[in-house]
Amino acid sequence: MSSGNTGLGKAEVRLKWDPSPWDRPPHHLDIIAATYSVDAPYGQPVYIVHYDSRSPDGTINMSRHSQTGQGFGYVEAMTLELDRLAPSFARVVVGVAIHQNTGLKTFGYISNAGVLIVEGYTELLNDNFMRIAGSTAGTVAEFARNPSGTWEFHEMVRGFDCEPVAFSAAMGCASRP
């Protein structure tokens, strides 16, 4: 899917989830974006962006971050300025990981979790993770540069069963791990 002949310019990924009950450790989810080069579109990421980092050129960054899910609506947001990415990038894969430091948690365990991806007022994806309810992490989207050099959006909801660091390394692979 693409928004017109000019391709995608600037997209935003938003994440929401309900806080854990007061007597339980907090649920901590993170949006993660991995960039891939033209030379190795399914190889190792060139760089990874998450809550504690941003892209070296400032084209991908977190504008909101939550470690608990507390707040109204979407409590975490990442902006991707695709039209500013260097021509050396072929893909950007976006995913969500659940921190496992307080015990095993899957998307089915997290109440009211959801992801929304928009470009301006156009909704590209709205998902509640139920397709990957038994997973601890999952990709949600791939932004890929087409042969004419413009960016396209591809829904890519795939579940993974690993912690955030391993997920970051595997999320852009060609096939499901």
pLDDT in tens, 100-155: 988 899 999 999 999 999 999 999 999 999 999 999 999 999 999 999 999 999 99
Contact (CB, 8 A) for 17 and 121: no
Nearest 5°: CA angle at 70, between 64 and 73? 65
Which of 4-8, 125-129, 132-136, 161-165 is the least confident region?
A: 4-8
What six digits make up the tokens of 63?
Answer: 């504008």
Q: Where does the pLDDT of residue 4 fall: very low under 50, low under 70, confident under 90, or very high at 90 and above?
A: very low
Where would I find the beta strands (DSSP E) of 53-121? Answer: 60-64, 76-81, 89-98, 114-119
Q: Out of 22-26, 47-51, 168-172, which region has the weakest mean confidence (pLDDT)?
A: 22-26
β 60-64/151-160 pair status? unpaired
Which range (2-16, 22-36, 110-124, 131-145) has the least confidence?
2-16
C-alpha torsion angle, residues 52, 143, 126, 25 (rounded to 10): -20
The three-state secondary structure class of 108 is coil
pLDDT at 1: 45
39-48, 67-76, 80-89, 149-158 — which is least confidently predicted? 67-76
Residue 1 has which token pair?
Answer: 């899917």
